[in-house]
A and B are shown apart, each in its own frame.
Chain A
Amino acid sequence: MGKKTIDIRNALREAIDEEMTRDDTVFILGEEVAEYNGAYKVTKGMLDKWGDKRVIDTPISENGFAGLAIGAAMTGLRPIVEFMSFNFSFVAFDQLVSNACKTHYMSGGRFKVPIVFRGPNGAAAQVSCQHSHCVEALYGNLPGFIIIAPSNAYDAKGLLKAAIRNDNPVIFLENELDYGKSMEIPDSEYVLEIGQGRVVKEGTDLTLISYSRMMQHCEEVVKHMASKGVSVELIDLRTVKPLDIPLILHSVKKTGRAVVVEEGHLFAGVASEVGFQIAEHAFDYLDAPVKRVCQMETPLPYSSVLEAETIPNPKRIIRAIEEII
């Protein structure tokens, strides 16, 4: 099987393009996705290839077009909604919260909402308080959503294809700073299974759990700790919800220690959930308290030094590990 090197941006485009080829009910809409070729160029060239019936520029009207896509999903189509930033999904919050994730249950199973909301999540480079929030803890609190947050091009492509084929509303979280991150992926088509984490590196002394962009810091920390003689097992969640709790427990039962790293805030976050489930299911195996490394409890400041400090960084992750090792 052949391989090719691809960045996350192009991996995402391939996923969308392949699914649009496979299924003519799939279409994409959002601000600047067509004529502008995408704010981050994920949809570059797609208008030329597919035309304006299936690659649709919207006005700045998230509440309107997210809800429109939900209505389209309920009536036979499979929309992909691009949020230029997931922070703009807050303008459409009612549509996501009251309609997207509740309709299947509320309608007695009569109407499905097969839809993907995708776009960059979390902090980028100094975009300040209103453009940097991580949304997974907010949407993760709502039954009915699937939440996917890949950290590399292979996962991005395979999981986005799975998301488009899924009959549920999916929150698909990308990262602006990672769109250009490359790796080798198969030449041929593949689809990944939603809900499966991955052990990136095996280890024996401590389990380090994260996802999305924070995986890069974690990989650096794993190398650093190895040089100090500490063997860290690194898990990439890949799907935030449903959480691959068996994989996490299997690892923690082996290592007896866990640190969870989340770009988003500390209070009631994904790390809190992972940590609590470890406590619920593997308490007797723990040799130390589970530690969280999360964004501090501030809106995300503009200044580069403050930004770097409030977001989890290798220094803070190492400190957390050293506290329990």
Chain B
Amino acid sequence: MTKKQEFIHSDTAKLRDSLGKEKLFDALRRMLLIRNFEVRAESAYQQGKIGGFFHAYIGQEAIQTAAVDAIGQDNWFITTYRCHALALLTGATPKEIMAELYGKAAGNAKGRGGSMHLYTDRLLGGFGIVGGHLPVATGAAFSLKYQGNKDSIAICFLGDGAVPQGAVHESLNLASLWDLPCIYVIENNQWGMGTASTRAVAAHPIGESLSKAYGIDNMLLDGMDYFNCYAGFLAAFKQVKETSRPMIIEAVTERFRGHSISDPGLYRTKEALQAAMTRDPIKHLVSDLEAGKMIDDSEYEALNKAQQDIAKASMKYADESPYPDLTVLEEDVMA
């Protein structure tokens, strides 16, 4: 059933040198910010400060961080309900996101969206229905083509669990048929909620199979390796802009938490999780930077501590912010 497909080739040492310490330090900083933000938000959830659904990106941080670094901010971004990271990466502040999680007036979406529906001027959401955001992403790519914008693309993140959805297949068909500049990134974290992807998706490797079905180029990335992801997104961005053709990327990863905060993850053995965590994308990047003598222990500790402090400050801010005034309840239903 599962045929081996290789990750794309990337040269970590060469990329490390060309990107340089400043950029890579900043990539690590943002991955640590995402991690610390979510760890703190989980504790706020346990304290009852946050309600509803909460899906952590912990374990997958390298993928979206590398994507944003490789293609830049000036594109359309679309993702699932697991959206804290992409909101942070595309310009939302930790304070406004935490305030949103707390349901406060100063929240990213005025307390209307919560954890699953975050936005920036270039992030269209934060979508809650599995696979339902792919047509929207395809539409953003359609707009770029219609408007004659050849500098930007749309990039859409989905999980392996979305692949069986019809909306995914309709979107890939339309994007291929109409030559739309969209990168579809399947973050294969192995599990659609508690169902292993091998029990949900008929054809593996997922990206390669979809690629053959819809005549769209694909690549496989090691989602735990920032450099492999960066190299892949950079090449994909270049190709999609040049050809105005879509691209499928499968990034193999593993989430270190349950599907959502209420999922104890009983379907996965402790040993399997521990094995996955040895490939922690943050540790991976740190060791790559150490190998290039770009970071030492004290620098790492200071960087991590600073992100912890930002996360904590965002909790304080959210805590002290007022709830929405009840008189605004019915505002913005209509534009």
Chain A interface size band reads 35 or more
Alpha-carbon gap, A74 to B110, bound state (A): 19
- For the A-B complex, the count of residue pairs with Cβ-Cβ distances under 8 Å equals 141
- Contact of A144 with B by CB under 8 A: yes
| B127 / chain A contacts, CB cutoff of 8 Å | 98-99
Question: Quick check: B128 and A98 within 8 Å, CB to CB?
Answer: yes
| A73 / chain B contacts, CB cutoff of 8 Å | 139
Interface residues of B in 123-161 (CB under 8 A from A): 124-129, 132-144, 146-147, 154
Question: Quick check: A108 and B134 within 8 Å, CB to CB?
Answer: no
Alpha-carbon gap, A111 to B124, bound state (A): 8
| A105 / chain B contacts, CB cutoff of 8 Å | 112, 332-333
Q: How far is the CB of A312 from chain B (nearest CB, A)?
A: 30
| B110 / chain A contacts, CB cutoff of 8 Å | 108-109
Query: What does the 1/0 interface line of A100-139 toward B look like (CB < 8 Å)?
Result: 0001111111111110000000000000000000000000
Q: How far is the CB of B22 from chain A (nearest CB, A)?
A: 32
- Contact of B73 with A by CB under 8 A: no
A74-B124 contact, Cβ under 8 Å, with A64-B135, A68-B135, A104-B335? yes
- Contact of A289 with B by CB under 8 A: no
Query: What does the 1/0 interface line of B155-179 toward A look like (CB < 8 Å)?
Result: 0000000000011001101100100
Question: Quick check: A64 and B167 within 8 Å, CB to CB?
Answer: yes
Alpha-carbon gap, A66 to B142, bound state (A): 12
- Counting chain B CB atoms within 10 Å of each CB, which of A94, A112, A143 scores highest? A94
Judged by DSSP, the binding face of B is mixed
| A59 / chain B contacts, CB cutoff of 8 Å | 173-174, 177
Alpha-carbon gap, A141 to B142, bound state (A): 30
- Contact of A53 with B by CB under 8 A: yes
A95-B135 contact, Cβ under 8 Å, with A61-B170, A76-B147? yes
- Contact of B76 with A by CB under 8 A: yes
Q: How far is the CB of B25 from chain A (nearest CB, A)?
A: 31
Question: Quick check: A99 and B136 within 8 Å, CB to CB?
Answer: yes
- Contact of A88 with B by CB under 8 A: no
- Contact of A77 with B by CB under 8 A: yes
Question: Quick check: B128 and A108 within 8 Å, CB to CB?
Answer: no
| A111 / chain B contacts, CB cutoff of 8 Å | 119, 124-125
Interface residues of B in 267-301 (CB under 8 A from A): none
Question: Quick check: A75 and B173 within 8 Å, CB to CB?
Answer: no
Question: Quick check: B139 and A69 within 8 Å, CB to CB?
Answer: yes
Question: Quick check: B142 and A67 within 8 Å, CB to CB?
Answer: no
Contact partner of A64 among B109, B154, B170, B332, CB < 8 A?
A: B170
Q: Which residue of A lies closest to B118 (CB)?
A: A107
Alpha-carbon gap, A114 to B335, bound state (A): 9
Question: Quick check: B334 and A168 within 8 Å, CB to CB?
Answer: yes
Question: Quick check: B167 and A104 within 8 Å, CB to CB?
Answer: no
Q: Which residue of B lies closest to A65 (CB)?
A: B174
- Contact of B259 with A by CB under 8 A: no
| B142 / chain A contacts, CB cutoff of 8 Å | 68, 71-72, 77
Alpha-carbon gap, A76 to B132, bound state (A): 20
Alpha-carbon gap, A72 to B154, bound state (A): 11
Q: Which residue of B lies closest to A104 (CB)?
A: B335
Q: Which residue of B lies closest to A114 (CB)?
A: B335
Question: Quick check: B119 and A63 within 8 Å, CB to CB?
Answer: no
Question: Quick check: B138 and A68 within 8 Å, CB to CB?
Answer: yes
Question: Quick check: B121 and A74 within 8 Å, CB to CB?
Answer: no
Query: What does the 1/0 interface line of B182-215 toward A look like (CB < 8 Å)?
Result: 0000000000000000000000000000000000
Question: Quick check: A63 and B170 within 8 Å, CB to CB?
Answer: yes
| A27 / chain B contacts, CB cutoff of 8 Å | 146
Query: What does the 1/0 interface line of B307-335 toward A look like (CB < 8 Å)?
Result: 00000000000000000000000011111
Question: Quick check: B143 and A168 within 8 Å, CB to CB?
Answer: no
3 pairs of A and B residues whose beta carbons are closest in the complex: A71-B139, A67-B135, A64-B170
20 contacts across the A-B interface (CB closer than 8 A) = A59-B173, A64-B135, A64-B173, A64-B174, A66-B135, A71-B135, A71-B137, A71-B141, A71-B142, A74-B136, A76-B147, A104-B335, A107-B112, A107-B117, A107-B119, A108-B108, A108-B113, A109-B331, A109-B332, A144-B334
Name 10 extra pairs, CB < 8 A, besides A98-B132, A168-B335.
A61-B170, A64-B171, A70-B136, A72-B140, A75-B140, A95-B132, A104-B332, A107-B109, A109-B335, A144-B334
**Chain A contact residues, CB within 8 Å of chain B:** 27, 53, 58-59, 61, 63-77, 94-95, 98-99, 103-114, 143-144, 146, 167-168
